């Protein structure tokens, strides 16, 4: 499997203006990452209307550092406009736009953050853009994340039944009950039926102990299952502790990437 970092992990320094997307990409290369994950709203200049020049510059920088863009993440919902909710047609149009942006960046996976109840709403949107996903060679990677249980995603994946609709499991779904911000805890056995659909993972972390371990997340057990299955996708570290502890991003991302390498190599 390939290991890298979500640029979300650099949030403390990016939000403070001490680092930009290009600095974060270079930092990942220095750590030895195979690739990165980029979030449109947080990292792409000019979002939601980025220039082709900026997309090209990001893509070429990543390639020049012998990395790849594992995944392009973005947000998908009705509340983009300030005057009214988006219509279904507008949402489908925006989804197709994000698919094109993903392809321009050279990424193969797009993760639109989107929660919908019932699950049929998600299924309808994915089915509406399946031709565009296939045309651009982009996989819609739905993120397995609270508040929905693993069964929700399994139903969606089985219903759509397409290689262009796959899964991005977030490790937080199997964190212990004392993890910050955790809404629900699932038995680790619930990961196994989902592994045939997994193409990319988020290695979530909120904190580290004196040994560099994430005390609430069973990293060793999750990676063991990924290896035993023969997972050949990517895992991007996603450090969320910058919301709480104010540590420099360059310090915490290195601790997290060392943890990924410890169990993932």
pLDDT reported for residue 173: 92
pLDDT value, residue 35 = 98
With a cut of 70, list the residues of the chain below it in pLDDT.
180-184, 243-246
d(CA 237, CA 172): 12
CATH fold for the domain made of 2-264 = TIM Barrel (3.20.20)
Q: What is the pLDDT of residues 204-243, one digit of tens each?
A: 999 899 999 999 999 999 999 999 999 999 999 999 877 6
pLDDT score recorded for residue 241: 74
**Per-residue CA distances from 256 to 12, 40, 46, 79, 82 (Å):** 15, 22, 29, 33, 37
pTM of the model: 0.95
Q: Could you count the other beta carbons within 10 Å of the beta carbon of residue 78?
A: 13
pLDDT given for residue 152 in this prediction: 93
**Given this model, what pLDDT does residue 243 score?**
66
For 134-149, write each residue's pLDDT tens digit. Answer: 999 999 999 998 888 8
Q: What pLDDT, on a 0 to 100 scale, did the predictor assign at position 115?
A: 78
User: Domain-by-domain residue ranges, the chain?
Assistant: 2-264
Chain centroid to Cα 34, Å, comes to 15
Residue in the structure block whose two tokens are 């709403």: 121
Cβ contact 170:132 at 8 Å:
no
Q: At what angle do helices 88-105 and 119-136 cross, to 10 degrees?
A: 40
Predicted local distance difference test score (pLDDT) of residue 182:
55
Q: What is the pLDDT of residue 23?
A: 97
């Amino acid at each position: 499997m390939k290991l890298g970092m979500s640029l979300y992990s650099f949030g403390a320094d990016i939000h403070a203006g001490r680092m930009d997307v290009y600095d974060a990409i270079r930092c990942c290369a220095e750590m030895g990452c195979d690739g990165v994950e980029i979030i449109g709203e947080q990292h792409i200049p000019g979002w939601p209307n980025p220039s082709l020049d900026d997309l090209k510059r990001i893509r070429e920088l990543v390639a020049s550092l012998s990395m790849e863009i594992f995944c392009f993440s973005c947000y998908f919902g009705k509340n983009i406009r300030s005057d009214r909710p988006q219509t279904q047609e507008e949402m489908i149009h925006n989804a197709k736009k994000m698919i094109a942006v993903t392809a321009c960046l050279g990424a193969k996976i797009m993760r639109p953050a989107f929660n919908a109840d019932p699950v049929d709403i998600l299924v309808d949107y994915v089915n509406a853009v399946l031709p565009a996903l296939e045309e651009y060679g982009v996989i819609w990677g739905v993120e397995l994340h609270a508040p929905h249980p693993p069964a929700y995603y399994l139903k969606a994946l089985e219903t759509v039944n397409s290689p262009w609709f796959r899964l991005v499991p977030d490790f937080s779904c199997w964190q212990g009950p004392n993890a910050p911000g955790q809404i629900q805890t699932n038995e680790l056995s619930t990961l196994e039926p989902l592994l045939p659909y997994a193409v990319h993972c988020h290695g979530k972390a909120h904190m580290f102990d004196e040994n560099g371990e994430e005390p609430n997340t069973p990293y060793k057990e999750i990676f063991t299952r990924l290896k035993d299955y023969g997972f050949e996708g990517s895992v991007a570290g996603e450090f969320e502790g910058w919301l709480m502890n104010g540590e420099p991003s360059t310090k915490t991302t290195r601790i997290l990437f060392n943890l990924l390498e410890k169990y993932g190599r």
